[in-house]
A and B are shown apart, each in its own frame.
Chain A
């Protein structure tokens, strides 16, 4: 046991095979997340020690194949070629044996050092599916282990086989697919590429296979380094197509599936005739043309209400209050996550201030530390629970298999808005918080669709914008029915803008773009593991906070400086500060929309950091002790109220959203476009609404 060697193990598998679960149970808490070089795709890495031997486990992106169609596929295969892992574990799904086996065959063409883990054996057994593991291993020529990652079965065995291969005690001899009549051309291509050193680091047979099928990435590189070789390959492919009566890629993919079919026939036994499964039964509802969209909408609404209520108490508190449970409603609000965090940071800011003053620090320093830094950190952390819960709730939809159905039944509706069904999840996340919405657009395969979805996502009113609307409505509208109507119309207006903007962008920025056709796997439904859900949610939100916190904190400090300093140095009151001057300048714009009050403009400045901050800013400038009073003292008539509400619902996304947008797009122009279009829209909407309503009320 004396030697300290670390083995590098890569996990490969299609989406929905349980790869994340396996990675999580193997590495436990010893893991960290980063990004693949130059990409926004997460890279997970963790370690595990088995009988004194260390394994470093790298979770490759989930892919159905290694054909370089997507970035994920390029990352996965580049890793296998360049970083030469000691073992590649390919996870195959016992429930969807054939489709998930395809990747395994491709990996076995790239490297010998393969161990196959057949996952979900427990669920398969329940459905009467029996996998003959030994026979499978014999036919494939590599070790095969039966596991259930969820129930942690077979893991010991898996790690032992991995070590056997890593240490050379077991040398896999992967079965090579023989491509029949295509073999002649594959060998010709193998000869031709000898002349191009650019791609010599890849296994020659593999490169030949890939080029015979057609491979975007390799061909691009060949085109640059050895164009004459590429021309020769194109010539060979055309010849093959003529002589074989069909394109080489069809011949080759078919051959692989022939091998898979015969593996299936020989290695999978169905013990009994299956009754309709749970999946089939539930799918009758979920995929129904009417019930499907209805159930989907209700499901997402329920999740959003649950997340909202946990975060701020609304809307459950209103419901409780209506039922006469005032005390419970108040408790819910007080003990909501945002409430608890807010109280904690207020108290912390107070005590930091107190401690510094007692220690003899000057007032401005104590103020900077308490209001600038502690509150700045507070504002970062105050939206953390929301992001976390949004990820948890929607992670549940994704992992359970429900989200795939929702994307499918909503596809038609989404296309009408210029997106595919896949874009719906991130867009709906936006009702909770725009940050996960923007990060969530990563699932979209087409760059153009992603661009469109990212530009549109911030127009979806997040919970913080809802919070502002509610404050105004509660303060100025008495009748509960009209309150609800007003809130609903803000959402309706945002939806209208969403659709109109989508068309506008498609006619200008993204001319010629069409929402891509979907290919979505509908995996069998299953109960997600809470542990994996929590891990993923925690990890994604933490990853973002770490990256964005510098920007958010910096801008919070700028806001602090704006309110605390002015042309005369330190500002004794708000009226001496730069924030006041800026607010005053902005009233030029605001007055067009009936909002020519610097205090209102100041609220909009604060809302740039976080939309929740708008109402708090109003309370500070008006000296009001509660939101209702603050709103009443600056917004006098219904026309002003409407203008303010619409502007707040539409204008510039908050700093965290901008940070996310920039992180993901890495495009300053696009980020500027987002800010400008929302500002312009807010200004126009507010102005038109103000004048229309004011005129209507006068007559």
Chain B
């Protein structure tokens, strides 16, 4: 069951299923930082405010609105899995 990245649990390995990147501008950025469908990512921290993810070895902070546009699937509790 795909869930929005904004609701994904911390620390587990996730796979990007879809990015709602319709329209110009900053949403395209989500793709361009490497959040393409199929990519494995991890939520580093989901404290209040922006969520921190690790994607392709880089760390990014995404505002909640952006995180809602990324659909992910939980792959398993990697327990510090590296992506």
Contacts and interface: CB of A to CB of B under 8 A. Distances in A.
A521 B60 contact: yes
Interface in B25-83: 25-26, 28-34, 36-39, 44-45, 47-50, 52, 55-66, 82
Contacts of B82: 274
B37 A250 contact: yes
Contact of B29 (A64, A97, A287, A411): A64
Pick the most buried of B45, B52, B56, B58: most chain A CB atoms within 10 A of its CB: B58
A289 interface: yes
Residue with the highest number of chain B CB atoms closer than 10 Å, among A102, A253, A420, A421: A253
Contacts of B31: 249-250, 253-254
Interface string A85-100: 0000000000111110
Contacts of B60: 519-522
B59 to A, nearest CB: 4
Interface in A491-550: 516-523
A247 B50 CA distance: 27
Most chain A CB within 10 A, of B31, B45, B60, B66, is at: B31
B38 A522 contact: no
Interface string A248-283: 011001100100110010000000001000010001
Nearest to A292: B47
B8 interface: no
A298 B47 CA distance: 20
A371 B30 CA distance: 57
A65 B26 CA distance: 12
Contacts of B3: none
B44 A287 contact: yes
B21 to A, nearest CB: 6
A288 interface: yes
A153 to B, nearest CB: 22
A99 B55 CA distance: 9
Contacts of A99: 33-34, 55-58
B57 A97 contact: yes
A64 B59 CA distance: 14
A517 B63 contact: yes
Contact of B48 (A254, A289, A521): A289
Contacts of A65: 32
A526 B34 CA distance: 23
A407 B39 CA distance: 26
B32 A67 contact: yes
A409 B49 contact: yes
Nearest to A213: B28
B14 interface: no
Contact of A64 (B33, B47, B61): B33
B5 interface: no
Given A67-B32, A98-B57, A519-B30, A411 B62 contact: no
A519 B26 contact: yes
A254 B29 CA distance: 13
Contact of B21 (A249, A287, A520, A522): A249
Nearest to B55: A99
* Among B39, B45, B49, B65, residue most surrounded by chain A Cβ atoms (within 10 Å): B49
Contacts of A521: 33, 58-60
B4 to A, nearest CB: 14
A408 B58 contact: no
Nearest to A68: B24
Contact of B50 (A97, A253, A518, A523): A518
Contact of B26 (A69, A98, A279, A523): A69
Interface string A378-421: 00000000000000000000000000100111011000000011
Given A64-B29, A216-B24, A517 B65 contact: yes
Contacts of B50: 408, 411, 421, 518, 520
Contacts of A214: 24, 28
Contacts of B47: 287-289, 292, 409
B36 A250 contact: yes
Contacts of B39: 257
A42 interface: no
B32 A102 contact: yes
A212 B34 CA distance: 19
A445 interface: yes
A181 to B, nearest CB: 14
B37 A254 contact: yes
Given A102-B34, A517-B63, 15 more contacts: A67-B28, A69-B26, A250-B19, A250-B21, A254-B36, A274-B82, A409-B49, A411-B49, A445-B26, A516-B63, A517-B62, A518-B66, A519-B61, A522-B61, A523-B59
- Which 5 pairs across A and B sit closest by C-beta, in order of nearness? A517-B63, A289-B47, A98-B56, A522-B59, A412-B49
22 contacts: A64-B32, A67-B28, A96-B58, A102-B34, A247-B22, A249-B21, A254-B31, A257-B36, A264-B56, A274-B82, A283-B52, A289-B49, A409-B49, A411-B49, A516-B63, A518-B50, A518-B62, A518-B63, A519-B29, A519-B61, A521-B58, A523-B59
